[in-house]
Amino acid sequence: MSTDKGSLHEPMAEYIKKFLKEPPLLLKNFHYEDVLEYLQLGIEERFQADDVILNESEYVNSAYLVAEGKVAIWKDNIQLATLSEGNFLGEAFLFSKNSRMAKVTAEGDCVLLRYERYEALNFFRKKPEKLFNIFTKNIIEIQQRKISNMNIQLLNLKKRLLNDSNW
């Protein structure tokens, strides 16, 4: 893994340009300038295939935006999901001080932007309250989508078990 905070004199990363044209769900309904400023808060981290990005039971004080590539979510050696560009990991990092619930690994080379709780809270303290309300609504939508996806997986598993005559 490598980390880079970036410099104001470096050219803008391609993923930032892409996210400015089509913001990730986390930043939906933000003004262009707020999207750019929030993206620039992130610390770029690069991972290679099978690198562990997050370990289960780690203390939550940061979250990640998948900028390039894909990551896999694991629990008890079972892959629960794959997240790709624009997806957010640990979206409740501003509200929860719990431990991580799953392990996350890189599926091939990937770039993630890491957001620290303190830095993100400072970002919102300097903005109108409305922006934080939009951010919170976006987090709720992300979590609702994850719950919906888990419900579909659970339903499919139940169907398979009910159709299995050996069970």
pLDDT tens string 45-70: 999 999 999 888 777 788 999 999 99
pLDDT of the residue at 2: 57
Residue closest to 28 by CA, chosen among 123, 115, 125, 131? 131
Which domains are delineated in the chain?
2-163 (2.60.120.10)
d(CA 160, CA 113): 38
**Position 93 confidence tier, pLDDT thresholds 50, 70, 90:** confident
Tell me, what's the pLDDT at 3?
59
- Give a three-class secondary structure readout of the chain: CEEECCCCCCCCCHHHHHHHHCCCHHHCCCCHHHHHHHHHHCEEEEECCCCEEECCCCECCEEEEEEEEEEEEEECCEEEEEEECCCEECCCCCCCCCECCCEEEEEEEEEEEEEEHHHHHHHHHCCCHHHHHHHHHHHHHHHHHHHHHHHHHHHHHHHHHHHCCCC
41 pLDDT above the threshold of 90:
yes
First vs last C-alpha separation in the chain: 44
* pTM for this prediction: 0.84
**What digits encode the pLDDT tens for the residues 70-88?**
999 999 999 988 999 999 9
